[in-house]
Structure 1
Amino acid sequence: MPAVPYVDRSDLPADYRYLYDDNENGELNVYRALGNNPEVLQSLMRWGTTVVAASGLPRPDAEVVLLATSRALSSTYLWDLHVPLAVKSGLDRSAIRAIGERRFDDLSARHEALATYATAFVDRSVDDGHHETLGEYLDPEEVVGATMMASHFLAVAHAIDALDVDPEGPFVGWSLENE
């Protein structure tokens, strides 16, 4: 049971109803929980949209960061949310499974660097070696973009846990076994 009531679109102030409509995910439980404070929801959604769009990373690379962050946090909610988005972006299911199973060496070298970096970010263990490896594939603008994407999803995952937000459906599984 969630820690706060869910707010339906019709219960939002009129100026904020677009938040449920103008996003690629629709009216999710996380948005409905955060809808108790529409201004905060709006800010969070703008931050998420900005860090993904302005990261400089192609969408499949962004999804690697988001999935690896979700996996490192064991956030089944975010994992389930991003698996279909990752597939839609062109990320292969075998790559998604590799991230879910933490087999980063099965990824392309670029995606391995991104997944390893996102995991180290969550673990607060980023070091010069991570930056050196990531620097082989990304310019400084993209490194900042990847860092801030991981930061955003860390914050969202903690909010989901703290507010005890219900999943949208059954867990797809780290290996996509329930897909």
Structure 2
Amino acid sequence: MTARVRPGGLREVGSFTWVFARVSGRIAGTGPPNLFLTLGRRRGLFHAWLWFAGRLMPGGGLPRRESELVILRVAHLRDCRYEWEHHVRLARRAGLGTKEIDRIAQGPDAEGWTPREHALLTAVDRLHRYRDLDDAAWARLRGHLSEPECIELCMLASHYEMLATVITTLRIQPDQARSPR
């Protein structure tokens, strides 16, 4: 599959995005993220999105480990390879092990999740399937999260659903691992 919109160069994305993408790639252990160099071709929108996305992750109030659980579950449900591969690297840094990452594909009812993780993953599945949470799922979630955390969870899962749509539609290619020197 070929990208529908190629990642931009310095001229197309501007110096801020160009430098930001290079630094981000170094941190992630990849080249400059194709997502940033593609979305960066629409500079003002990219800058606004970056600020918003950064407030959800890594700047959100949910623990990073839980944010990565949510994002990876969305990536799995959406079959979004780019999102999955990028966030597996981040999930490992946030403390998720290989067995936990593999178990994400099995969903909330897989053995080994804590009650809180089960509630989070159930909410993600329901938001994905129904675009809503029934009263039972909401009550289970509220048993573990505050109201502000519930707001953030809904926005985090929905944001990564939107992002998976953009990535899939534009056919953004996964980032290449940076070769060791």
Tell me, in whole angstroms, the C-alpha distance in 2 between the residues paired with 1:91 and 1:82. 11
Match of 1:120 among 112, 115, 126: 126
Deviation at 1:104, TM superposition (A): 3.6
Tell me, in whole angstroms, the C-alpha distance in 2 between the residues paired with 1:70 and 1:7. 24
RMSD over aligned Cα, in angstroms?
2.1
Aligned residues: 170
Residue identity matched to 1:135 = R
User: Could you tell me the TM-score, scaled by structure 1's length?
Assistant: 0.85
> Quick check: 2:80–2:164 contact (8 Å CA) kept in 1?
yes
Match of 1:166 among 161, 173, 181: 173
- The gaps in structure 2 that reach 5 residues or longer are none
Residue identity matched to 1:45 = L
Match of 1:140 among 132, 147, 151: 147
> What are the superposed Cα offsets for residues 76-122 of structure 1, whole Å, 9 maximum, x if unpaired?
21111111111110122222111123254321111111111112111
> Quick check: 1:47–1:152 contact (8 Å CA) kept in 2?
no
- The gaps in structure 1 that reach 5 residues or longer are 171-179
Percent identical across equivalent pairs?
A: 24
The equivalent of 2:9 in structure 1 is: 8
**Pairwise mapping of residues 21-60 of structure 1 onto structure 2 (< 5 A)?**
21-23=22-24, 24-25=27-28, 27-60=32-65
Change (3 A) 1:54 1:135: farther
The equivalent of 1:110 in structure 2 is: 116
